Chains A and B, each alone.
Chain A
Amino acid sequence: MSAATPRTGAGSTAGTRGSSRYGTITHRSSTGLLLVLPALAFIVVFVMVPFVFAIGISFTNWPLVGAFRFIGLENFAAIPGDTAFWKAVGYTLLYTAIVTGPILLVGYLMAVVVRANRRGSTVLRTLFFLPYVIGLSTLSFLLVLEAQPGSGAVNLLLQGLGITDGQTAWFTSGPLATALISLLVVWGVSGLTMVLLLAGMQAVPREVHESAEVDGATWWQRERSITLPMLRRPIAMSLILSVIGSFLAFSQFFILTQGGPGTDTTPVVLAIYNRAFVQLQVGSATALSLVLVLVVALVTAAQFWLLREKD
């Protein structure tokens, strides 16, 4: 991110438009402020105010409709004993642990396959990235069809390979649902990791690889000593992006399992959604939201810190 070096409007004595025409000052500070004002208005109204609002709500017992009263820190005090929330936290961590490694590995392999500009590598790159562009909600609707016992492609494929009888009802079992959703997610989002890593890989001059090859370095030696050190930042970034994405997972679970059976596949965002809009305990849900904001902010801050370090 190259820092802008604007011709400064510092000491902008040019008061009027007419006089600035003759001045050397091309950027009046008031114009700059006016330009960023609409963006700031959006952020203040739809991020800052709701955030402050949230802190207030978290001290109340607000039902979605009706009267409320302030209950101090009760919502927060209830969090340690909130078994539904902690179950969702545990599930989110499990899901994150399952998908993070494979997303990095598959994305890395994809990048290795497409990084040489061979015939077809552009097509492959496009194909690898398409599922990510289509998005998890649409992909989830497609999986609804293909996970059907007896008729869906997933079951037909497993039956054809002789692994199952093709009658698996994936979403009636927590572990099976988790396995299938994880597979969908790894398939769907690894393309993003590929693109992020590809940029780092292409920063390595080809000559470096070639001379190492001439010197007899094996593929893995070259990969480990030349490519991987260059990928420290892209790997850190793609890891953090995928971890945050997993922490905030919602659509695929809401569409495919509604968090069930029971609450066995309920991630944190879905648990908060249910608390607010099904159980109508907005105060409690908001307190949980703030905990989630804090966690994600810490991960993001870690991202900035990790990425800044080397500059």
Chain B
Amino acid sequence: MATTTPAPTRSAGTDPDGRPTTATAAGHAEPRTKLLLYGLAGVLTVLVFAAPLLWALLRAFQTNDVITAAPSASTFLDLTAANFAAVGGTAGLGRATLNSLLVAGATAVLTAVVATMAGYGFGRFRFRFSGLAFGAVVLTLMIPFQAIITPLFMQLNAMRLTDSLLGLVLFYTTVNLPFGVFVMRNSFAGVPAELEEAAFVDGAGTGRTFFSVLRPLVTPGIATTALYAFLASWTEFLGALTFLTQQQLYTLPVALLNLQQGAYGAVDYGLLAAGALIAMVPCVVLYVALQRYYVAGLASGSLKG
């Protein structure tokens, strides 16, 4: 959605100060003030949006003493990897990182599989109660998990799924499913029916048709679904906080919370900065690398609540 054809040199409506750009001014070349303003906006943006993130990167390589003191020119750039060496220490950030990876990865795979099946069913098949079933998915969008966190805790507890990474994966999968089903249903609905008919004529069953004919066509949708599920569960906070009580099961945000609240004595802000950086990196890398799928998801699953 966000990719358009290259703009002509004289593009319209970008004068950000709202000043009249007369026909003569915009007639042939880009007015100089307009370019200047665009450049200014760019610089401001970099300052406001890139600087804090670069600052966070810098913090992760400073010691606790440097972070908590008024900055002095002599020590501020004494960078060290000591925080990352301590990640495996008592605060359990190493373990928490692995837990988060495991949970987010499993959630991405499970959500993609279940949503792809359901998307195929809803997008391609007509069956009794299909409207009702799809209605149930829509209804799920209207019941945010934050609002039913207490009964959810009781439910997971009754199923012995609290204090369990599996329980967390099942919970996150449910949270991400409605969006995934929307995306996948749209993906399947966009595939020409002739393709499937041809496969059927050639003797392929439903499974064979899916894996050999449809799968390549819906791969972008699958990537979108998996990406959203991964990012959403990687830094999810409320559910992890509520459903996990054993330290060895903590995911990264909960481990960072414990660290920040001084559960291990004096707060090591260097370690907190390093942990926050570890939490940021997969988001940034995955988003930048897979931006196309991310933006496609926003367009296609625009019902996301």
Chain A residues with a Cβ under 8 A of chain B: 1-10, 17, 20-21, 26-36, 38-40, 42-51, 53-54, 57, 109, 112-113, 115-118, 120, 124-131, 133-135, 137-138, 141-142, 144-146, 148, 150-151, 153, 156, 166, 187, 192, 195-196, 198-199, 202, 206, 209-210, 212-216, 218-220, 222-223, 226-227, 237, 241, 244, 248, 250-251, 254-255, 269, 272-273, 276-277, 282, 285-286, 289, 292-293, 296-297, 300-301, 303
Task: Check A33 against B279 for contact (C-beta < 8 Å).
Answer: no
A248 neighbours in B (Cβ, 8 Å): 144, 146-147
Question: Is B246 part of the contact surface with A, judged by Cβ < 8 Å?
Answer: no
Question: Is B109 part of the contact surface with A, judged by Cβ < 8 Å?
Answer: no
Q: With A and B bound together, what is the CA distance between A53 and B256 in angstroms?
A: 32
Tell me the B113-137 residues at the A interface (CB within 8 Å). Answer: 114-115, 117-118, 120-130, 133, 136-137
Task: Check A4 against B1 for contact (C-beta < 8 Å).
Answer: no
Q: With A and B bound together, what is the CA distance between A196 and B193 in angstroms?
A: 31
Chain B residues with a Cβ under 8 A of chain A: 1-2, 4-8, 10-16, 18-23, 26, 38, 41-42, 45-46, 48-50, 52-53, 55-56, 59, 67-71, 114-115, 117-118, 120-130, 133, 136-137, 139-144, 146-155, 170-171, 173-174, 177-178, 181-182, 185-186, 188-190, 193, 196-197, 200, 203, 205-206, 209, 231, 234-238, 241-242, 253, 256-257, 260, 269, 272-273, 275-276, 279-280, 283-284, 287-288, 291, 294-295, 298-299, 302-305
Which among B189, B236, B288 is the interface contact of A126 at CB below 8 angstroms?
B288
Q: With A and B bound together, what is the CA distance between A272 and B242 in angstroms?
A: 12
Task: Check A47 against B174 for contact (C-beta < 8 Å).
Answer: yes
Which among A148, A150, A223, A289 is the interface contact of B148 at CB below 8 angstroms?
A289
Given the known A-B contacts A38-B114, A48-B136, A250-B146, are A113 and B16 also in contact in the complex, defined by CB atoms under 8 Å?
yes
Task: Check B126 against A128 for contact (C-beta < 8 Å).
Answer: no
**Nearest CB of A to B126, in Å:** 5
**Nearest CB of B to A273, in Å:** 7
Q: With A and B bound together, what is the CA distance between A237 and B301 in angstroms?
A: 12
Q: Which residue of A lies closest to B194 (CB)?
A: A7
Given the known A-B contacts A39-B114, A142-B276, A269-B147, are A29 and B127 also in contact in the complex, defined by CB atoms under 8 Å?
yes
Task: Check A138 against B279 for contact (C-beta < 8 Å).
Answer: yes
A215 neighbours in B (Cβ, 8 Å): 23
Given the known A-B contacts A2-B190, A151-B70, are A138 and B235 also in contact in the complex, defined by CB atoms under 8 Å?
yes
- What are 21 inter-chain pairs, A to B, with CB distance below 8 A? A9-B126, A27-B125, A27-B196, A28-B125, A39-B114, A39-B117, A42-B174, A46-B171, A54-B148, A113-B14, A118-B11, A131-B53, A134-B280, A138-B235, A138-B276, A138-B279, A142-B276, A150-B70, A218-B19, A273-B238, A277-B153
Task: Check B126 against A142 for contact (C-beta < 8 Å).
Answer: no
Given the known A-B contacts A57-B154, A145-B67, A219-B15, are A134 and B283 also in contact in the complex, defined by CB atoms under 8 Å?
yes
Top 8 A-B pairs, shortest CB-CB distance: A32-B125, A35-B121, A209-B12, A39-B118, A4-B189, A29-B127, A54-B151, A36-B121
A145 neighbours in B (Cβ, 8 Å): 59, 67, 269, 272-273
A127 neighbours in B (Cβ, 8 Å): 45-46, 49-50
Q: With A and B bound together, what is the CA distance between A231 and B36 in angstroms?
A: 27
Which among A10, A20, A141 is the interface contact of B279 at CB below 8 angstroms?
A141
Besides A39-B114, A166-B70, 11 other A-B contacts (C-beta < 8 A): A29-B127, A47-B148, A51-B148, A57-B151, A137-B236, A187-B49, A195-B2, A210-B10, A244-B305, A272-B150, A296-B144
Which among A109, A130, A198, A244 is the interface contact of B284 at CB below 8 angstroms?
A130
B206 neighbours in A (Cβ, 8 Å): 28, 31
Q: Which residue of A lies closest to B180 (CB)?
A: A39
Task: Check A133 against B7 for contact (C-beta < 8 Å).
Answer: no
Q: With A and B bound together, what is the CA distance between A109 and B263 in angstroms?
A: 42
Which among B126, B257, B305 is the interface contact of A8 at CB below 8 angstroms?
B126
Which among A32, A285, A301 is the interface contact of B130 at CB below 8 angstroms?
A32
Which among A45, A49, A138 is the interface contact of B280 at CB below 8 angstroms?
A138
Task: Check B49 against A131 for contact (C-beta < 8 Å).
Answer: yes
Which among B125, B129, B143 is the interface contact of A47 at CB below 8 angstroms?
B143
Q: With A and B bound together, what is the CA distance between A141 and B146 in angstroms?
A: 20
Task: Check B155 against A151 for contact (C-beta < 8 Å).
Answer: no
Which among B11, B203, B284 is the interface contact of A116 at CB below 8 angstroms?
B11
Task: Check A218 against B144 for contact (C-beta < 8 Å).
Answer: no
